[in-house]
Structure formats: C-alpha cells, structure tokens
Structure 1
Amino acid sequence: MKKISTLLLCTLLFITGCVQNSNEEEVLQNDEDIAEPETSIVPSYQLSDENYRMILPYKTSEARGVIVNQMANRIDIDEMEEGLRRLSKEVYDPEELYFQEGQYLDSSTIFTWIDELNPVLNEDANIETHRDNPRYLSHILEQNYMKHNEDQSVELAGISLGIAMKSVYRFTAEGVGPFYEDIPKEEMLSEGNKIAQAIVQQIREMEGLTEVPIMIALYQEEEQASPVPGNFVAKVNVPGGSSSVDGWESINEENILFPSDEGREKYYDDHEIVSSFGTEISQFFPNYVGLIGEGFYIDEELQKLTIEVPIEFYGKAEVLGFTQYAYGLVQEMFPNYYDLEINITSSQKMESLIYRDGGDETPTVHIFD
C-alpha cells in the first residue's frame, strides 16, 4: 500500500510539474467589434508548452454537434479533433497563439457545403448510379488560432480545417441495402483536393477572412465498426490572400489494432510485446478475457501505445494486486521511447490507470475509488 501511495504522490507531483505558470493573467478584448469590445481572459496557467491556452469565457463552435451527425464512428471524431490540433502546432505556435473552436462556419453553412460538394442523386437513383457517384465528404471541422496585440485586443491569426473523407461509402438504393463500397485512397485524395479548393474559394468571400492563413488537412475515416480510428493523410497551407490550394504534403500516420493480422504484418515486434503482455496476465488472473491495443505511428515509428484491459474484479484488493502485477510487466516488457497508457477496466468503471511518457523510466499509477 505504501508503494501505491508513493506512486499516487508522484502522479500529483507530475501533474503539478506540467503546469506552466506565466507572470500574470491576461485580459484581452475581441477585436471583431471595436464599438463594443468584448473582454476575454487568457488563463495564466498552461498545462504544458505543447498545449494551447484557451480564451475565456470558452466559446463553443458555431457548428457544435454537426460532427456527431456526420461521422459514424466516435473514435474517428476524437482522432480528427485532436489530430487537427496536433498538426496545427506545426503552423501555429502554441507559445504565441491561443486555441478557439471554429466561429465562422456555422451548422447551416457546413450542411449546405456538404450537400453541394457531394454528388447530387435523385431519390430513385439505382444501385449502379450510387456506386458511380459516392458521397466522399463527411464533415468539415474548423479550428481558430488567435493572437493578442499590444493594446490587449485579440484577433484571428489563422484557421485550420479538417476535411473528413470516407474510406467506405455506405448507401441504400431501390429499397434494398445497405451496400458498402470501398473508396480507393488515390480517388479520395483527388476528390479531397477539389473539395478543399472549393471550400477555400468560399471562405475567401466571407467577411474578415480574405487575408487569414488557412491550414487544411484531409482525414480518411475508418469504416463504421472499426475498433481503431482513421488518420490524416495529406495537408496544405494556404497563405493569407491566396485562394489557390496546391503543394499538398503527404502525412504518414496510422492507427494499428493489436493483436491483429495487420499489426503482426506491419509491426511484428510491437505486436508480439502486446500479445505477450496478455499471455502473462492470463496465467495468473482467471477473470482476464483479453485486451485491445492501439498503436499510433508517425512515419512508421510508434508514438503512443494504448491498451485497454477489461477484467472482472471482486474486491479492491484484487484491483490492487492486478495493477501491481501489470505495473511490473510494464517495467520489464515495454520500451520507454513512446508514450504508454494502460487502462484497466471492469464492466462498471475504470479501475486503474498506468501511464508513462516517452523517455520516462518509471510509470505512474492511479487507482480509482
């Protein structure tokens, strides 16, 4: 118990150490309405140098909720939102700029654009017509990056747009279905380029957005039932004042399920570590039923490994014993050059968490009440 308490104290110290304190809290004014300036606050604490501070009071997106209706897989939604922020850091410096949810593309605009940028089919279109005219575009996600001036006013410094494209087209026709048609990646990229060009041209016609830089990233969704999300596949920067979308860069990211045939084929060593971890657990805990691992790779290098271990417990002592055992296996089996997160769950709740940032020697443990 003393060991667990020590680890929990380390967790608190870790969290405290991650908080970056600036000299003072800043009060900013929104520069969009000079006659009646809107006072905003930028918190004086930043969770880390890699995270954006956010302007308060927090403004939700003008298209709040649209993404849930447009993307069928919840894990795709999370990956797209977090991934777009991650890619934005390469363009918009987190130390200089602040994050705000999209304020320019409202729900009506996004729904209209999705309908206009996808093929228009009659209600009585037959199966072959649907197959020849897939709806490629699922969603358009906007993020805003703000700067403040010497007079403490705040203004838009850049926009990031995530364009979600289908990898599988699901449709019904002639009173039957659903049917599922795979969309080749090259076809998706070609259509994504056309869609991005049309979106930028319309954004440049919106008041106040003529000179704003725009970063665009294409996101390829996974199929609806996939246990792992899709990934971003290409990006491009459009300078302020330009309406031309060219110079696309490929993004080599992927999310891999472990254990799986794909994981074994592409990343054999990582697959074997995850499988061996499960084997070791099964030998000592009869209530273990399996695990699900997800590896996030950039340029074929593992960046983060997340493992969920569902198991039925019959008392807190069993949770403690299992967590201690898993902690020891982490120390023995998993290299520390990537982020690692192990979620131990029961049917009722999250029971405990083991995590380690890349480069750290010792994992941190949290056991939930």
Structure 2
Amino acid sequence: MKKVSMLLLCTLLFITGCVQDSNDEEVLQNDDTKEETSIVPSYQLSDENYRMILPYKTSAARGVIGNQIANRVDIDEMEEGLRRLSKEVFDPEELYFQEGQYLTSDMIYTWIDELNPKVKEGADEETYQENPRYLSHILEQNYMRHNEDQSVGLAGISLGIAMKSVYRFQTQVGGPYFYKDIPKDEMLSQANEIAHSILQEIRQMEGLGDVPIMIGIYQEEEQASPVPGNFVAKANVPGGSTSIDDWESVNEENILFPSDEGREKYYDDHEIVSSFGNEIAKFFPNYVGLMGEGFYIDEELQKLTIEIPIEFYGKAEVLGFTQYAYGLVQDMFPNYYDLEVNIKTSQQMESLIYRNAGDESPTVHVYD
C-alpha cells in the first residue's frame, strides 16, 4: 500500500506543479455582442498553454474535420500543431484561444469542392490519377485580446490547410480502391494556390479585412499510418494584406519506432526504444511489443511517446510491470526531451509514466 500511495502522491505533486498561478477570474464582454458576458478562468495549466474563454464556444464548422480527414492521429496533430505554430505569432501570455467562429461547415465544404480538381462521374482510373483531390480540410483557430474596456476582441486567426500525401479513390461505388502518391513539391505548389484563394475569400468577410492571419500547410500521412503527418510550411499575413509574400519551411517530423525509417534517420533513438522493449520482454511473458512515436523539430527530439499493450491478470501485475518499466525509463532514456509511456490493455489505460524535459525523475500514475 505504501508503494501505491507514493505513486499517487507523485501524481498529485505533478498535477499541482503544472497549474500556474494567475490573476483572479476575469469577467469580460464580447466586442460583437456587448450583452454576452465571457469569463477567463483564473488558472492556466502552464505558461505555454493558451487560456480559454468561457462559456466555451465550439467551432462554427464543428465535425467537419472528422469527415474530411480519415486518420484520427492526423486530426489530433493538426489541431495541436496549429496551436503550437500560433504561439510564435500570437502570444499565449497575452491572448486567449477560441475555436474558429467565422468559417462555417457550408463554407468549408464549398471551398474544398471548388478548390479541388473536378472529375466527372464515371471517369476512368487515369483521369482520377491526373486530377487528385489535394485539399482535405481548412481548420480555423481564433486568438482573442482582452481590451481595456473589459471587452474581448479578435486579435488574430490561424488557418491550417490539410493536404493529402496519398490520394485514395474509387472509379465506381463499391469498386476497388486506387492510390496515388502526391510528391511534396507538387503538394506545396497546389497548397500555395489554395491558400491565396482562401485568403481572398476571408478578406471579403465582415470584420476580417484587417486581422493578422497565420497560415500553416499540413501534410497528412496515409490513412492507415500509426503516426501522423506534420506541418511543412507557414506564412504570416499582416492585417489588411491580400497576398502571401513568403513561405517559411517548417521542419517537423513524427517518426515511428521501431521502424526502418526510424533506424535510418534517428539510429540512437531507435536503438534505445528497441532495447527498452527487449528488456521488458525478458521478464514479462505477456508482452507482445510496443509502439513509439518521436516528435522532432529541426531533427531534435522534442517528445517521445511509447504505448505498451499487455494483458494483465490482476492489479499486482500492473504495479509490478509499472515499477519495472519505471526503472528502465530512469536508466535508459535521456532527459532532454519529454517522455510519455502509456501502459494499456485492450480494455483501458492501466498506468502512465511521464517525465518533462529536464526533470531528473519520472512521475507515475496507476489508474483505478
């Protein structure tokens, strides 16, 4: 019981350390509707996260991303990645996050159809191959400013433009699927034209003519990929501008471990993950393997996430496995990046081992 209590105590200390003190709860008014009162919570999880305005407003295009992007890991990475890129433009210490309120579902579906190549129903495979649908989705995020008169106004917009790396299509309903790989340079060329068209449309919308806009180009992975794609380019458009003058490359990668790509690009990290799995396999007969995902910026590992699926036959086995994995994490993994180890069965998460970059010791949580 003492060991379990220590695990829970470590978790509580971790959660407490993540919550940052801030000013008292603020009551604000929306610029557009002075009768609508908004509240900014008095706590934020960390200095790097945006505070959010309450009551929480869902996107005007809620649900579209799930219909347009087939891979769940791409959906999560696109949303989180766009917020990450936005921090370089819209300061999280000064601005608040809100889901996109201007681009509606109908607008996004219409733009996707208009900005993709047209193919007549009943066309043959060659026609589809020559006219792939490049654009999957347009994601909007709003960044809000607290004005001196206690109102909240729009300070900036971030747009994520999701582009396919593989085009999957059928020439007839119920027929076989065909695939076309889309080279990165071809995708970027199309994305540039699409982004300019979207910018022109947005500048004509009421209230958005002078708002700064950050645009990120997201390249999806193929539909069955266990790891997501990544942002590959970004551009900042000043308020009032109707053109995109320069694109800046974004050097981000999500790498699967173990894999041939991981071994070739990041050999040392690949070997650590593989050795970690080998050590677990020596002592736990129910272990069948693990999956690691490394997130890199400019070829430097920022976060390593490992999922270990295993079947347990009692809570004592969960505790024993978690304690053993904890020791391996402490001994084997450097602490210059964030590390997360999720131990799970087919039914649920069993335990979590987490260490922030720079921390000496991991934090452990065993789920009830």
TM-score range (shorter-chain normalised) is: over 0.9
8 Å contact from structure 1 (residues 84, 217) kept in 2? yes
Measured in 2, the distance between the counterparts of 1:23 and 1:290 equals 46
Please show how residues 16-95 of structure 1 align to structure 2 within 5 Å. 16-33=16-33, 36-95=34-93
Measure the CA separation in 1 of the matches of 2:292 and 2:17: 29
Query: Which structure 2 residue ranges, 5 or more long, are not aligned?
Result: none
Instruction: List structure 1 segments (4+ residues) > 4 angstroms apart after TM superposition.
Output: none
Task: Provide the residue aligned with 1:344 in structure 2.
Answer: 343
> Which of 110, 113, 132 matches 1:112?
110
Where does 1:112-131 land on structure 2 (aligned, <5 Å)? Answer: 112-131=110-129
Give the match for residue 247 of structure 2: 248
Of 116-125 and 15-24, more deviation after overlay is shown by 15-24
| Separation (CA, whole Å) in 2 of partners of 1:16 and 1:282 | 35
Structure 2 distance, partners of 1:203, 1:361, is 48
Q: Report deviation, 1:27.
A: 0.6
Q: 1-side partners of 2:318 and 2:172: how far apart?
A: 54
Alignment of 1:159-308 (within 5 A): 159-173=157-171, 176-308=175-307
Deviation sequence 1:159-213 (CA, Å, 0-9, x none): 0000000000111125643100000000000000000000000000000000000
SS of equivalent residue, structure 2 residue 138: strand
> What corresponds to 2:10 in structure 1?
10
User: Does the CA contact (< 8 Å) of 2:252 and 2:298 recur in 1?
Assistant: yes
| Other-structure match for 1:97 | 95
Could you report, residue by residue, the CA deviation over 1:49-87 in whole angstroms, capped at 9, with x for unpaired residues? 000000000000000000000000000000000000011
Letter in 2 for 1:279: N
In 2, Cα distance between equivalents of 1:58 and 1:49:
20
Indicate the percent of aligned positions where both proteins have the same amino acid: 81
Counterpart of 1:53 in structure 2: which amino acid?
R
Residue equivalent to 1:148: 146
Q: Letter of the aligned partner of 1:323 in structure 2?
A: T
Is the Cα contact below 8 Å between 2:7 and 2:366 reproduced in 1? no
Partner of 1:326: 325
* Contact kept in structure 2, 1:127 and 1:174, CA below 8 Å: no
What secondary structure is seen at the aligned counterpart in 1 of 2:114? Answer: helix
> After the TM superposition, which of the residue ranges 54-63 and 8-17 deviates more from structure 2?
8-17
* Matched residue type, 1:22: S
Equivalent residue for 2:360? 361
Amino acid at match of 1:222: E
Read off the aligned partner of 2:209 and give its amino acid letter: T
Helix, strand or coil: the match of 1:144? strand
2:155 is matched by which residue type in structure 1?
A
Of 1-10 and 175-184, more deviation after overlay is shown by: 1-10
Are the counterparts in 2 of residues 258 and 274 from structure 1 also a CA contact under 8 Å? yes
- TM-score (ref. length: structure 2): 0.98
Residues 219-275 of structure 1: CA distance to partner in whole angstroms, max 9, x if unpaired? 000000000000000000000000101210000001000000000000000000000
Unmatched runs of 5 consecutive residues or more in structure 1: none
1:77 counterpart letter in structure 2: I
Whole-Å separation in 2 of the counterparts to 1:68 and 1:82 = 15
User: Is this contact kept in 2: 1:144–1:158, CA < 8 A?
Assistant: yes
The answer to whether the aligner puts 1:137 opposite 2:135 as a matched pair is yes
Q: Displacement, 1:3? A: 3.6
Aligned letter for 2:66? V
AA at the equivalent of 1:271: H
2:176 is paired with a residue whose SS is: strand
Structure-1 separation of matches of 2:121 and 2:282: 57
- One-letter amino acid matched to 1:20: Q
TM-score under structure 1 length normalisation? 0.98
Residue 18 of structure 1, CA deviation: 1.8
Q: Which stretch shows the higher mean deviation, 87-96 or 119-128?
A: 119-128
Cα drift, residue 304 of structure 1: 0.4
Instruction: Answer whether contact 1:4 1:365 (CA < 8 A) is retained.
Output: no
Could you list the per-position Cα deviations for residues 7-64 of structure 1 after superposition, in whole angstroms to 9, with x for gaps in the alignment?
Answer: 321221221122122231111100013xx43110000111110000000000000000
